[in-house]
Each structure stands twice: as structure tokens, then as C-alpha cells.
Chains A and B, each alone.
Chain A
Amino acid sequence: MTDLLVPVLLVEAGLLLACLVALVAHMAWAAARARRVAARLAAAEHAAVRALAVGNPDLAVAEVSAVPAREALALLVRLADAVTGQASATVTAIARRSGLLARVERRLRSVSRWRRLRAVRLLTRLGGGEDTVPGLLEDRAPQVRAQAASWVVRHGDDAAVAALVARLVDADRLARFAAADGAVRLGSRAAPALATVIARTEGPAVVPALTVAAALNEAPLLAGAVRPHAGARDPEVRAAAVRALARMAGAAEEEVVAAALDDEDPRVRAEAAEACGRTGLWQIAPRLGALLRDPSWDVRRAAGLALRGLGGPGSLVLRRSLDDEDRFAADMARLVLDEERVG
């Protein structure tokens, strides 16, 4: 056994030495690189700011090209984050004319997903990639698809926007989230494509699209596509459809919202109750009062808060409910009135 320990100890010592050398060498290299690059980086930054001020990217190309690519890209990203409009276009032009954009765009074809991801991130901040990035909405890596969605929000044309909206039914959660977030940021630009997706998609897969619809105030374009989903088989879909219709169209969808108050699923009833309060459908106050007796606490709470939101008619129903023989209804009415009183 003792004989075994000697080579083990030697291997350990070797690995330890290698780690120590790697650690110290990396520190020294990083410090030396920073010192070496500092002057050129400062000059490049100065030139870039001057270029932005006068709107002439050529004033900075030479200095930026003299800096190592990593630092140059970091500088341009920092500047791109700080400016908008014409200044952003100037930053993009500096990146293009110094060859940095072409270098980054080549990485979009890398077999490594992480290199593709970094490349799309850079292009999202700097601009460029109009011919290549939209295609990455179909990339095999979900992180790349998600990042491509962010690019589309900032730089995409209408075709790219439609492709982004189509990703609302992506199999990957992150890609769906990025598409939904992107569609919400795009606002009305996304509405036409969104209507198509909602009309063509069935089942739970349509829920992200309905969530986006709820965030966009585009009833004329979307209400027609959303309305059929209020009668879907899946309660999650029905709830999302009711939420979307109420937020988009308000009192105009009274019939759909009122019908949903009797839905068999408590999630749908709660959404419908909340919708009534938000849209001011005071005629429904008595039915909301009945929902204070609902077996689901979430429905009772939504009904109570909705009644409060209806003003006079709702408050009347709440006060009458204080004497309800159903103690859950009375309790919720009291809680809502107490919250209103105290804050």
C-alpha cells in the first residue's frame, strides 16, 4: 500500500502545481492584457464617442480595429446600450466597417450552440444579421431560438415578426416565453400574425398566444379569433380566452364573460368574475353575489373584489351578503369590506 501512495502523491503534486500555475498565470495574463489594451481601448472609446456625436462612423473605424475583437465588441455593446435612434445606427456602422459584424455573423454557423448564442446576443445589441438571424428562430437549440426572438423585437421586419409569433407554440418553454415577451413588446405589429396563430391552434398550446392577446389592446384584430376558445374543452384555454376578451374588449364581450360565470371549472369562473369587476358590468352584480357562495375560495375572492370594483351596486350586494346564511359568503363579504375600509 505504501508503494501505491508515492505515485498518487506525485500525481497530486503535479495537478496541484498545474492548478496553481493556471491560477496565477491567468491572473497575470488578465492583468497584463488589461494594461496592454488600456491605452488603445481608451483611444477607441474616445473616437467612438466623437463618431456618435457627429454621426460619422468612419471617425472610429481605425481605432476600434486596433483593439482586440473581444474588447472592441464589449466597448461597442456598452455604447449601443446607451444610445438610440441614429446613434445606434452609427454604432452598427462602426461594427460593420471595422469587420466585427462579419466576424460575429460567421459564428452564427458554428456547430457549438454556445457560440451561436453569443453571436446572436451580440447582434441583438449591435444590430446586423438581417439575412441570417431570422432563420435562427428555427435553430435546434432553444436558447438560440429565444435569443433570436429578442433580436426580432429590436431589428426584425414584418416577416421576422410573423415567424416570431409562430414560435408561441414552440415545444420549449424558454423559447415560448421569449416569443410571448417579444410579441408583447412588439405590440400592434404582432397582432395580425397573432390572430392567425390563435385561429389555427387548438388545445393548451394556444394559451401563450391568448396570454399575449390579453396584453395587446387590439380587439378588432384579435377578438374574433379569441372568442371561439372561450368554449374550448380545456379549462385552462377557456380561462385564458375569457381573460383575453375581457382585457381587450371589455363590456363588449358581456355575453361571453357572463356565460363563463357558470363554467364548471373554478379557474374559469374566477377569471370571469375578475373580468366583470374590471369591465364594470354592474348588471351582473347579483350573479357575482351568488358566487360569494362558490365552493372555491379563489372564485369567492374574485367575486368579492369584482363587486367592490362595481361601485354602488356591488357594495350593496356585499353589505347584504354580510347577513348571508352561508358563512363563507358572509366571511368573504366582510373581508372585502374591511380591506376597503382599512386599506
Chain B
Amino acid sequence: MSVLRVLEAVVLGYFLVVNGFLLLLLVLSALDLRRHRALGWLAEIDDLRSSPLAPRISVLAPAYGEESTIVESTRSLLALAYPQLEIVVVNDGSQDRTMEVLRDAFALEPVLPIYRRRIGTAPVRGIYRSRDTPNLVVVDKDNGGKADALNCGLCVASGELACAIDADTIIEPDALLRMVRPFLESDDVVAAGGTIRPVNGAQVRAGRVVVPRAPRRPVAALQAVEYLRAFLPGRVGWNRLGGNLIISGAFGLFRREPTLAIGGYEEETVGEDMELVARLRRHGHETGGPRRVQFVPDPLAWTEVPEDLRTLGRQRDRWHRGLADVLWRHRGTLLRPRYGSLGLVATPVFLLIELLAPVVEALGLALLVVELVLVGINWDFAVLFLLVAYGLGLLMTVATLVLDEWTYRSFGSARERLRLLAWTLVEPLGFRQLTVVWRLRGLMRWLRGSRAWGEMRRSGFAPAEGGVDR
């Protein structure tokens, strides 16, 4: 019986540590948001918009099987407000008409730019420049995966900074003007990330979100709640703890030279975006180069999230495998003062709180069942504890909604935020437990050596259900 008590104490202790840390992140993010609001308020974005000294940014957009969305996505990239901008779309051996669609839409002509192949990639079939918009370059290459496509784009690009996005990500027009700010403030910043919101449910026209709305379908709506919590307190709070390990692959900005110096994205992992950030930070500590990762909390980009549980499960499985893989690759930084906050804070926290969370939650559930069968349960305690756990999760999310209400009001009108509030009540009742199952599955698969990506079903951007495209 004492074994059960010990395990109980471990689970309870873990619960306290995790929620204590999340509350800390919430408080830190509130402080950082205050700073960001002041910096962003009436910021001289207009001056930066025409500055000849702004660092050149190359936006890298890998595309595979994106014929339904690639034109709209590319047009939205070309409409980004930034003075020194280059768009590099990398067609990664698509089997559909992605390349043909691009050629027709943008009047592409073949070119032979002089660039240095500092990272080996799958063969390049051709490089094209748009006759109508010369800052658009399209690289057509053999399939090599997302990491390979990004590495190819890194080599071809000419910017001082490289912005990696997913081909179906919609970026707000002034997003780069906001996201470049950390690089203007410090030479020590090596990467910056921005806030992503689910685009499902929003009205999209000509590659722009014209009416932000919360998703209507349950699976997407629940993810909207998750994303809000993950980005607003989750990532902003890390700015005060020395920087995050995660920059979303859907939208991140990196210094191109250090990224090339470390060999670009790692292909042998499914967590290539997180792995790159970890390696960049590590490289910075080892060489005395830039090493800080900053998160810009302004809502900057929109991406399509899965609307069915099967696809979502595969995604979360992959994300957790990626996390496990990255932490294993960079285990050498764990608790080593040489690596500063990376080794002393970020890696231990991600190991204990992110990676092992599904294991401990599953253990807690198993304990419950064992106790029920073997010794009987203290029902008072069990019910109260479940209420406390549910309430804490709810509190975190509602507090995040308050922060969002105070700052960016990401999903537009008050009605949309109230809609999200309703989903907040539902999220801890089953959905979160499902994510635990998926993450646990991912961890098991990683332990067995799986590296598969799985397919994402995309529906493309369309006017919202019942919406009028004015």
C-alpha cells in the first residue's frame, strides 16, 4: 500500500509543480504584455515600412501538394508590408499542379541566380522569378521533405533574416514589421516567433483575413482555445525566462547566417522547427554568437487547424515525437550552466512539464483505477481533486481570455470571445484527455523509432459558412 501512497504523492506533487509553473508563466506574460502593448501602441511602423536600413527578409514558403491554396497564400505574402522583402516559394516535388498553378498565376521565368549551396538538398530542377513581381522567386526541386525544402530556400535566399512559414499560413500585412523589432533591439536575438491563430471560421479574401472569427466546428474551436492559451501566456511568459524552445514552424523569423552555419534544418526529425531553435541557441552559447529567442505576442498569422480528430491525433502524435526527439538530441545541455537559461530552465522544464506530462497523467488515471479495485477510493478527495484540477485549467484559460480582451482581441468581436468562453468550459472535459492519449502514443512511437509525418487533410480557404463575401 505504501507504494500506492508514494505514487499518489508523486502525481500530486507533479500536479502542483506543473500548475505552479503555468501560473508563473501567466503572471510573467501579463508583465511582458504590458511592455509589448506600450511598444506596439502607435509604433512607427509606417517609418519602418519605407526604411532603406531595414534588414532584408526572405520569406521561405515550402509547398507540397498545395494547389488549392498556393496562389492565395503567395499573393498574401507578396502583399506583406515590408521594404526589403523577398519571397522564396519552394515546390518540394508536388505530385499535383502546384508548380503549374504558380507558373500561370505569376508569369514565372527561369533564372540562374548565383548562390552558394551551403547545405546539401534534393536536386533543384529549376529556379524561377516572376516577371510581374521580381521579388518572388520559385524553386522547383525534387521531393525531400519540409526540412529539405526550407534548407534549399535558405541557400537560395538573399536576406539577412529568413522567415519560415507553412505554405498555407496567412500572415497579417504588418506582421514582419512587428516581428523584426527584436532584431532591431538586440544583436543577441537569433530567432523570433509570432502568435498563430486558427483561421478556420474566419472570412478570407484575397489571401487576407478580413473578418476574424472563432471556428465554428467543435474540434477546431477547441484548438482555438488551446492556441490562445499556448501562445499568450505560454510563449510570452518565456520571454522573461530566457527564451522559448519553440518557434512555430508556421511562422518564425531567424538570422540566416547562423542558421546556415549550423547546417539549417535537421531532416532526420519530425520536430525540425523546435530542433533548429534548440541548435541555434546551443550554437550561440558555444560560439559566443546570438542566442536569444524572442516571442512577439501580437497576433500575426493564421493557419488552418485539423477539423477531424483523426488528423488532429496524428498531428499531436507527431508534435510529441518531435519534442521527445529534440530533447534527446540536446540532452547535453541539460542542467549545464554553460548553456545559460537553455540548459538550466528551458530544457528541464520541457522535459519535466511538456514531455512527461502525459505519462504522469496516465499514471494518475491508472492509480485511480487500481485504488478503486484494490483499496477503495476516498470519494470526497477524488471528487474535490477533480474539481480543483478542472477549475485550475478553466482558470488558466479564462485568465488568458482576459489578457486577450485587454490586449489584442484576436478573434474580433465580443460575441466571438464569448463563443470561445463557452468552448473553454468544455475543453477540459474529454478533449484535453484525448490530447494526453495522442501525446502518449507519440512518445511510445518515438521510443519505437517512428519518424512518419502523416497526411493533413486541407480544405483550403473559403468564405465562412453563411458569410457574405463583401
> What is the predominant secondary structure among interface residues of chain B facing chain A?
helix
Say yes or no: A27 contacts B392, CB within 8 Å.
no
B406 / chain A contacts, CB cutoff of 8 Å: 26
Question: Which residues of chain A come closer than 8 Å to B421, judged between CB atoms?
Answer: 20, 23
Q: Counting CB contacts under 8 A, is B380 at the interface?
A: yes
* A297–B394 alpha-carbon span in the complex (Å): 57
Number of residue pairs across A and B with beta carbons under 8 Å? 116
Identify which of residues 41-71 in chain B touch chain A, using a CB-to-CB cut-off of 8 Å: 41-44, 46-48, 51-53
Nearest Cβ on chain B to A22's Cβ, whole angstroms:
5
| Closest chain B residue to A342, Cβ basis | B112
Nearest A residue to B379 by beta-carbon distance? A2
CB pair B395–A173 under 8 Å, yes or no, is: no
Mask: chain B, 173-201; 1 = CB below 8 Å from A; 0 = not: 00000000000111100000000000000
List residues of chain A with CB within 8 A of the CB of B129.
Answer: 343
Please tell me which one of the listed residues B47, B387, B395 contacts residue A15 in the complex, with CB atoms under 8 A apart. B395
Q: Bound complex: CA of A211 vs CA of B395, how far in Å?
A: 51
Is the CB of B328 closer than 8 A to any CB of chain A?
no
In the bound assembly, the distance between CA atoms of A23 and B403 in angstroms comes to 9
- Asked if B114 and A173 make an inter-chain contact with CB atoms under 8 angstroms apart, the answer reads no
Q: Contact at B42–A122, with CB atoms within 8 Å?
A: yes
- Mark out the residues of chain B between 383 and 401 whose CB falls within 8 Å of any chain A CB in the assembled complex: 384-385, 387-388, 391-392, 394-395, 398-399, 401
Question: For the complex, what is the distance from the CA of A71 to the CA of B405, rounded to whole Å?
Answer: 19
Confirm or deny: B352 has a beta carbon within 8 angstroms of a beta carbon on chain A: no
- Chain A residue at minimal CB-CB distance from B34: A114
User: Is the CB–CB distance between A77 and B53 below 8 Å?
Assistant: no
Interface residue ranges of B109-142 to A (CB < 8 Å): 109-114, 116, 129
Q: Within 8 Å of chain B (Cβ to Cβ): is A243?
A: no
- Which residue in B47, B378, B384, B387 is a CB contact (below 8 Å) of A150? B47
For A26, give its contact among B187, B395, B405 (CB under 8 Å).
Answer: B405
**Shortest beta-carbon distance, B103 to chain A, in Å?**
15
Measured CA separation A20–B378 after assembly (Å): 32
Q: Contact check, B184 vs A174: say whether CB atoms are below 8 A apart.
A: yes
Contact segment of A3-11, A35-43, A223-231, A232-240? A3-11
| Secondary structure dominating the interface of A | helix
Q: Which residue of B lies closest to A121 (CB)?
A: B42
Q: Is the CB of A23 within 8 A of B384?
A: no
Chain A 187-231 interface mask (CB, 8 Å, partner B; 1/0): 000000000000000000000000100010000000000000000
B41 to chain A: which residues have CB within 8 Å? 118, 121
Q: Are B186 and A173 closer than 8 Å at their CB atoms?
A: yes
- The answer to whether A121 touches B111 (Cβ under 8 A) is no
**A5: contacting residue among B384, B395, B399, B405, CB under 8 A:** B384
Q: List 11 A-B contacts (CB under 8 A).
A: A23-B405, A23-B417, A172-B185, A173-B187, A174-B186, A180-B53, A181-B53, A184-B53, A343-B110, A343-B111, A343-B112
Chain B interface residues (CB < 8 Å from chain A): 34-35, 38-39, 41-44, 46-48, 51-53, 109-114, 116, 129, 184-187, 378, 380-381, 384-385, 387-388, 391-392, 394-395, 398-399, 401-402, 405-406, 414, 417-418, 421
Given contacts A177-B53, A184-B52, 16 further A-B contacts (CB under 8 A): A5-B384, A5-B385, A12-B391, A23-B401, A26-B402, A27-B405, A114-B38, A118-B42, A142-B185, A215-B53, A305-B114, A336-B114, A339-B111, A339-B114, A343-B111, A343-B129
